[in-house]
A and B are shown apart, each in its own frame.
Chain A
């Protein structure tokens, strides 16, 4: 017997699609009631009829107008949010609605294949955050599907093209759908996919184009005959269909004729709509819309720090990319002919099927890496958001940083998990919060709290904090909902850009203050410890400098604090070197021991990827240097919340 098939599902905003690997090629699953032979898409519509019957896909779409309250569309836009659809007196989460769609796809796929399906790969937009990804996975679970992997949509598209099996390629995926544009730049290295940047427009798509064309046909008819077809629902329906057909035809031919006899009638008799439309006409109409695709391409290049010449391949996804004017614009912007061999409507689902086959062990020469859409970090002293995993970091990833306490004898820290690009915690989205208690009483800066962020292959985040002294550990998996939509994500990134200067300044201010505060604290401590090794003049000098520093800290004046920090640091260094020269005894063994224990910690984290291990090793050595210099572990402290 062959291995169990893994279904690839493109769970779309308005339409969904499924594909499965058959005899070495991805095959699109037809929906059971496709009105045409192999009706391929499943409209992402769920409805409950007035009699309580559940309708999914095409039937739901066909009755939508007569049952607005009972019909749910665009559930994907609410994924991961704390939102309930109220339908016929009952409430449903976006996950439940999506689960109905997945259930339908599963059933139809089983009918098509003649075998049971229990596992699936589902695609999600590259910008989906952790909550949205978790919600998607949950939807699969509710539908009885084991979602073994979530894949970014552009990654799936690239896989459908079989790109990057060998060699190194940088590709740009241009995905223009019914309502949104997503531009993604990826690097593929010997079958390893890595997203470098994403950009887009959430209010741009094919439906805008259809609207403009239908408006144009209607206007021209009004000019010719003086009659407005938009008022006649039946006539307008014919114009809609004819417009869509003309648009498709004009992708292949230079001119088409719309021919709608007896479209309407007035007192003088029947009227016919006969209209020639050329490709040039269409392109002129579409120009304002198509032109809006330009900037997102440039933004994606800028974010990836690449010039257009560095892009090796361009992939088109989505029906509207079949239009020559769209292709021309992409070609113009990138100086390259886009790839056209895979149906742009099907390549995402097909890529998911290929990934399914990889995971089922049918294909072995592709590995998959996705990225985090936004920076992830925790809140630290001064309400600063300290990043652990930067935006666009390849996942799966596991990173850790050692933090410490902000006050003496502090016995608990609050780990506040944040997502966003802004410097201050309050400007970012809170993903969750937990306390690590029972920290052994110690002066500030001494306890070592190891905070680990672990994002699995599906983009699901687990945060853990461990007190290295007591081995006490607390963790959370981020599943709580936040109210973050795709538009808000874009807003966040933009806000971060807008506030870049201001944020930087704020962060600097806090850093200056924190540095001085820490410096005073450590100086006082060493001063106390070194009393008997100091000469009287040195003692007086340090006491004086310390007093000045404390005064400077109280003023909150940046220049004064900066100066004070420097002065204090210089004074302490002078005293330090004086002591060293007096006592020839080496004193560096303790920091070394600390470094070694941190190193062992890293080794035990065997799940680190190769490159991550290197990076962490670098962190540790840096920590070592710091330990030698200041005898403190890390300059970053978690905010003490337990005081409240």
Chain B
């Protein structure tokens, strides 16, 4: 009986998690399209087109916000492996491990990371010499 109770408790917990994150996969896929939109916006020269597409993009971001999807701050911050994934490292005057560039934006969904920010971090010449 105790076994069954435990199992039931476990299933309840699992179902709760499932419900909470059932949109996760869908939203994650959507992020790729958000990226594409952003790339498009940086290259469109025609101001009328730019205005229109910016409006579509803003709607998309608003929609994501309504689902509690938030962008992860990265640039200028100290590397946080719970939020960032390092793709590149570059020597710089900055302190060691500062995010210099965002290669792909990261997002959280309900306090859980939906996609890690893919970043380039600094490698301090001076600090490494001391070692």
Contact = CB atoms under 8 A, between A and B. Distances in A.
A116 interface: no
A113 interface: yes
A55 B36 contact: no
B2 A66 contact: no
Contacts, number: 75
A265 B40 CA distance: 11
A270 B81 contact: no
A23 interface: yes
A267 interface: no
A37 B17 contact: yes
A326 B69 CA distance: 40
B86 interface: yes
A231 interface: no
Contact of A262 (B3, B24, B43): B43
A586 interface: no
Contact of A265 (B18, B43, B89): B43
B28 A62 contact: no
* Most B-side CB within 10 Å, residue of A1, A2, A33: A2
Interface residues of A, number: 29
Given A22-B10, A113-B10, A262-B40, A50 B104 contact: no
Interface string B87-131: 111000000110000011000000001111010010100000000
Contacts of A23: 7
A115 B13 CA distance: 14
B24 A37 contact: yes
A59 interface: yes
A66 B121 contact: yes
A30 to B, nearest CB: 9
A237 interface: yes
A55 B81 contact: yes
B130 to A, nearest CB: 12
A113 B7 CA distance: 10
Q: Interface residues of B: mostly helix, strand, loop or mixed?
A: mixed
Interface string A44-69: 00000110000100011011111000
A306 interface: no
B41 to A, nearest CB: 10
A22 B9 CA distance: 12
Contacts of B114: 35
B6 interface: yes
Interface string B12-27: 0000011001001100
Interface residues on B, range: 35 or more
Interface in A255-275: 261-262, 265, 269-270
Contact of A66 (B21, B89, B113): B89
A582 to B, nearest CB: 82
A59 B82 contact: yes
Contact of A36 (B6, B28, B84, B89): B28
A234 interface: yes
A233 interface: yes
Interface string A20-52: 001100000000010111000000000001100
A114 interface: yes
Given A37-B17, A261-B36, A262-B39, A62 B81 contact: yes
Nearest to A112: B10
Contacts of A64: 86
Nearest to B96: A50
A584 B3 CA distance: 79
Given A2-B2, A233-B87, A66 B82 contact: no
A262 B38 CA distance: 10
B36 A36 contact: no
Nearest to A259: B36
A462 B69 CA distance: 59
A49 B79 CA distance: 11
Contacts of A35: 113-116
A270 B43 contact: yes
A63 B86 contact: yes
8 contacts: A1-B2, A22-B7, A33-B82, A35-B113, A37-B17, A37-B18, A62-B84, A114-B9
Interface of A: 1-2, 22-23, 33, 35-37, 49-50, 55, 59-60, 62-66, 113-115, 233-234, 237, 261-262, 265, 269-270
3 closest A-B pairs by CB: A262-B39, A62-B85, A59-B81
Given A62-B81, A66-B121, A234-B87, 18 more contacts: A2-B3, A2-B6, A35-B115, A36-B24, A37-B17, A37-B21, A50-B96, A55-B81, A60-B81, A63-B79, A63-B81, A63-B85, A63-B86, A65-B89, A234-B103, A261-B40, A262-B40, A262-B43
